[in-house]
Amino acid sequence: MLQFRASEKKDINDAKCEIDCWIFPPDNPNGTTLRLAFYRFLVQGFRRCQGLRGFRDMRLDRAKVSLGYFNGVPSWTIKGVNQQDPMLEGWMRYLQLETGAFYWMKDEDPNTVVWETGQSWSAPPPPDPPVEMVVVPDEELEDLYGL
């Protein structure tokens, strides 16, 4: 399995584009299972979607934030130096479960929310009108199998 470490889509065509090469031998009793490998690959795909859906020109205090194209990992530039660090001056990254949108919040203050991405999904609306469940007593059920 190959994963291109491209900074932008056009970089995939570059012969010098770095790649991750994941090899899973058929005889791998104590190694990574193919199921886990596909799960990790799927997660990387989701992270790539984050990178593509991220808002451009996002700033946290004085830091310009960007998302990696191939993995969605945030990084920031302060005084011309690009860095990655899980904490940036009290900022924390969160996921809004209802929509799949990522956002940042400083010192857990809801007035400081900065959205990183738009929504990735939405919850289905409730049925209109609400569906009423009907419970049928056992004695009224038809015995389809003659048991």
Distance CA 96, CA 116 (A): 11
147 pLDDT above the threshold of 70: no
What does the pLDDT look like over 84-93, one tens digit per residue?
765 677 888 8
Per-residue model confidence (pLDDT) at position 42: 86
Distance CA 147, CA 140 (A): 15
* For the chain, domain boundaries: 2-130
The two tokens of residue 59 are: 């700033």
38 versus 85: the higher-pLDDT residue is: 38
Q: Dihedral, CA atoms, 36, 37, 39, 40, nearest 10 degrees?
A: 120
145 pLDDT above the threshold of 70: no
128 versus 96: the higher-pLDDT residue is: 96
Whether the predicted model's global pTM rises above the 0.75 cut: no
Residues paired with 74 in a beta bridge: 67
- Among 23-27, 72-76, 142-146, the range scoring the smallest mean pLDDT is 142-146
Per-residue model confidence (pLDDT) at position 136: 67
